[in-house]
Structure 1
Amino acid sequence: MVRLPGRSAEPEPGERTRKRFVRRQWARRWGLWRPLLVAVLAAALLATGAWVVWSSEVLGVDRVSVEGTELLSAAQVRAAAGVEPGTPLARVDLDRVARRVETLAEVRGASVRRAWPDAVVVDVEERVAVAVVDLGTSLRGMDRDGVVFTRYERPPEDLPRVRVVGAPDNEAFREAAAVVSSLPTDLAAQVHHVDVETVDRISLALRDERVVVWGSAEQSEEKAAVLGALLQAREAKRYDVSVPGQPVTSG
């Protein structure tokens, strides 16, 4: 064979066969190793991602946001939440944080959520006072569940007071709260205070000095409806709605 000047010589058939064989061998080996290498890389990426999310401060807590507070300050809620800065956000126990916040007397309920990449959000439902409890040495707000919480220097004028005769207890507070919560707004505005002697002996003192014998907190909504009708229909000093189907007036 005559080789023309300036042109590279083509490989001999044997050389071409050897190169094809080498390429096939590399392709076969690569085909065997590629899934393993892909799996190793994927595992490494997953491990790195898991470390970043669960163990490092890259996605750690940088701030705790507080929503829904009026009685409490955000600082008080953060202190109760107890979330350490830098804690991996994924590892924050949201339920535990909520339970810690709910130990605050002013908190009726709390929900906690993550706000990626670096925040915990605490949404607070504060208690709302329906009455003021006179404890002798202090005036406290009481919510509809009978829970005594906030303190008052000067109590709101639009809230009735609750006076417990004898040692105050949670059951008495719950009964008083059930009575007050059952009153329509216009009727509640006429109540100066609620006297609780026992859970079965509750009475209302109206602002015009009339007295209402209420009895227990059972059937409070029915008692409130009967009382509202009686106040409009009859002038009396004493109204007894302890048995709402048989109300009695006197004086």
Structure 2
Amino acid sequence: MKPCKKNLSIVLAALLALGAGPSITGSPLFRVSRISVEGLRLLETEEIMALSGIAPGANLYEVDLKDAAARIEAHPIVRGARIVRTPPDGVLIAVVERTPLALINLETLCGIDEEGVLIPFHPTFVDLPVITGVTLKVYTLGRPVSEEGLSRCLALLKDARRFAPDLWNQTSEVRPGPDRLILNLVGDGLEVWMKAEDVPAQAEKLRALEAAAKWPTLPSYVDLRFSGQVVVGPPKPRPEDEKAKENLKKKKPLMSEQ
């Protein structure tokens, strides 16, 4: 805060303490004419202003800042909000938005953050990994959800974003299995089996494998779960081979000569 505004705040506080409240709250000098909002990436300034309920022309010292912040925090994308007066006529709203970690396909596509809180879809989420294979019977946007397979997916993606961002950026899909988490990578669609723990070490093994491997046919999977080793599955069937098999099945057997 600038010195002049800081000094003004001190003077106003002193006046209120001395019993000058009625004259201040009734003064036209302290009518809200400036509402500033900071911290937005997904939401619009106008939307936050409307949620706050702070109307231009309201007396600066009659605005209930706690109630206004609570109304803003009710939005599912908002993690927290803080509002301060900037005398003589201003209000500053500082918003902390939730950061999505992945997408999850429920009845509609939603974002989900590290804490398992569901977030309404936003066009900027399109490049996020998608969590599949999870069913939630009850959920509410803006509230955390809990499911064992989902929790394991979130734990892996959280550590990947923090300690192995290249793996997080490569992941197009992750789904839980009984004893593994199955990732599909962008590009060649390589299927990778991982566990939710020791993500940085598993990511390092994948980097080393991708740098060294020159397989003519993509393996059906790569298993990184075991310490000190990588298990590479058999070659993935090629589309043309699968098509040839289907054609053979369709052919009728030749009639034996009588």
Name the CA distance, whole Å, in 1 between partners of 2:209 and 2:115.
28
| 1:211 maps to 2:191 | yes
Residue 108 (1) aligns with residue 85 (2)? no
Report matched runs for 1:1-251 at 5 Å: 46-47=18-19, 49-54=20-25, 58-135=29-106, 137-152=107-122, 156=126, 158-167=127-136, 170-172=145-147, 173-183=150-160, 184-197=164-177, 201-207=180-186, 208-215=188-195, 217-234=196-213, 236-244=219-227, 247-251=230-234
Ranges in structure 1 where 5+ consecutive residues have no aligned partner: 1-42
How far the C-alpha of 1:57 sits from its partner, in A, is 5.5
In 2, the alpha carbon distance for the partners of 1:210 and 1:226 equals: 14
Q: Distance in 2 between matches of 1:68 and 1:78?
A: 13
Distance 1:51 1:203, change over 3 A: same
Separation (CA, whole Å) in 1 of partners of 2:151 and 2:73? 19
CA distance in 2, matches of 1:98, 1:243: 48
Residue 54 of structure 1 contacts residue 90 of structure 1 at CA under 8 Å; is this kept in 2? Answer: yes
Question: CA offsets, 1:127-173, max 9 Å, x none?
Answer: 333322222x42223333333213257962x3221113333772345
Give SS of 1:188's match: helix
Consecutive unaligned residues of structure 2, counting only runs of 5 or more, are: 1-14, 140-144, 235-258
| Cα distance in 2, alignment partners of residues 80 and 123 from structure 1 | 13
Residues 51-100 of structure 1 deviation map (CA, whole Å, 9 limit, x = unaligned) = 23356564243343222323212222122222355544334443443332
Q: Give TM-score scaled by structure 2 length.
A: 0.63
Q: Rg bigger for which structure?
A: 1
Distance verdict in 2 for CA 1:211–1:98, change over 3 Å: same
Distance 1:122 1:209, change over 3 A: same
- Partner deviation per Cα, 1:30-51 (whole Å, 9 max, x = no partner): xxxxxxxxxxxxx9x943x222
Would the alpha carbon gap of residues 98 and 177 (structure 1) be closer, same or farther in structure 2, given more than 3 Å must change? farther
**SS at 1:164 equivalent:** coil
Q: Deviations over 1:160-192 (max 9, x none)?
A: 211133337723455433322332333233222
Tell me the amino acid that sits aligned with residue 164 of structure 1. Answer: G
CA-based RMSD of the aligned residues comes to 3.3
Name the SS for the 2:100 alignment partner. coil
SS at match of 2:119: strand
- Whichever residue aligns with residue 239 of structure 1, its letter is V
Residues 53 and 103 of structure 1, relative CA distance in 2, 3 Å threshold: same
Amino-acid identity (%): 32
Please tell me the residue identity of whatever aligns with 2:211. Answer: Q
**TM-score normalised according to structure 1 size:** 0.64
CA distance in 1, matches of 2:91, 2:227: 51
Assess if the C-alpha contact under 8 Å between 2:30 and 2:59 holds in 1. Answer: yes
**How many matched pairs?**
203
> Which residue does 1:29 correspond to in 2?
none
